[in-house]
Amino acid sequence: MNLREKISTHKAEIGLVGLGYAGLPMGIEFALSGLTVHGIDTDKDKVRDLNHGRSHVQDVEDKVLQGVIDSGHFRAHSDYQVVSQLDCILICVPTPLRQTKDPDISYIMDAAQNIRRHLHKNMLIVLQSTTYPGTTEEVLMAEFQEEGFEIGIDLFLAFSPERVDPGNTTFNSKNTPKIVGGVTPACTEMAKLLYQQATDKVIPVSSAATAEMVKLLENTFRAVNIGLVNEITIMCDKLGVSVWEVIEAAATKPFGFMPFYPGPGLGGHCIPIDPLYLSWKLKMLNYNARFIELASEVNTQMPEYCIHRIVDVLNQNQKCVNGTRVLILGLSYKRDVSDVRESPALDIIRLLEDGGARVDYSDPYVPELDIDGTDKESVALSSDTVSEYDLVVVVTDHTEVDYPMIQESASLIFDTRDVFSKTHDNVVKL
């Protein structure tokens, strides 16, 4: 039976390297469709928990995970030995930036080298990790061709960007359209066939590089527009105008305008990082991606701008940062998730503590966290607790927080998310 027949009849065995927020949900969708899925992750504790039905990813419920385990369609592994029996492999490993702001693809390379040790004919390998255009063809193809395989005939290679939005209850791995681009047309068709087994809509593009660029455009679009509205926020402050009122009014235009909203900075793995992959790649081609660099500069400076505003707010209330008790509302990088990667809240806490403030946080999704070597626990919110602080700073607007109680109990609030839409004497907005 050839690979196409195996996929079409659900006889193919699927592997996912990397069982994080992108890899695990995709693997579960394949398992729910009736395909046998093998997850591979070097974190042995994570693998143990998954095999016992305990999910570490918010968007995958324990009962769903346990269901595909009980049906025999999912199992996690901590080594690559299982690759020798797989037909299709999806690489979903992290791709962070180095301190020099160039892409770190070492996780991709490590996965590729481990897969290569067990490589065999009639396999499909799809890279899902966000990276710069050209990675699939320039890095992965070169790695696998050294084994003597002919790409598009006895080994199929493609790129398909992950489009996961953690915490989104409307769009998930199944109903979000899947982009696929292969190294050859045959590779594209094979990848398309695979994803059609588990997702509602698959959109093929002409090449792997095109698919890689699609992902970067999506996140660059958001980063640049957020950078624009963050700069508009600073302008409005200088002009004595409410940026929130301006956006609300502008959004009434039924054409030619899409509202973006300011905030204390960008967080998560994607938006603050992905556009810089593209910027780095273009520097290699002697081109300066000016919009990307400027947006990154504006967005990166927003925590410091928030501190500047906080200092002004405290001064206007005859207080200074040194010795002030501050409560940060929301530690994660976005609403209703537990992910704190690149969260601006961490920068704001660090800057406040550098100024001598005593800072606590409250976040229902992050019960405890080590912040710069100090263990902190989330503060339980009550009117008595909130009233003990000199300042409450709303950084992440979780929906389950009792904001009316916060407004009534806090002596002073700095709101970076417009959770207090009405005017209150004790609330100052970004």
Which residues does the annotation mark as catalytic?
Answer: 270
Contacts 24+ apart (CB under 8 A), 238-247: 242/429, 243/430, 244/418, 244/421, 244/429
Give 3's Cβ-side CA count (13 Å radius).
Answer: 25
What gap in Å lies between CA 310 and CA 393, rounded to an integer? 9
What gap in Å lies between CA 340 and CA 334, rounded to an integer? 8
Helices (H), 317-380: 344-354
Strand partners, 38: 15, 75
Query: Residue 271's closest CA among 307, 295, 244, 290?
Result: 295
What gap in Å lies between CA 338 and CA 369, rounded to an integer? 11
Structure-block tokens of residue 181: 């681009």
Answer whether 292's CB lies under 8 Å from 278's CB: yes
Binning the chain into helix, strand and coil, the percentages to the nearest 5 are 40, 15, 45
Cα of 202 vs its chain's centroid, Å: 21
The pairing of strands 36-40 and 13-17 is: parallel
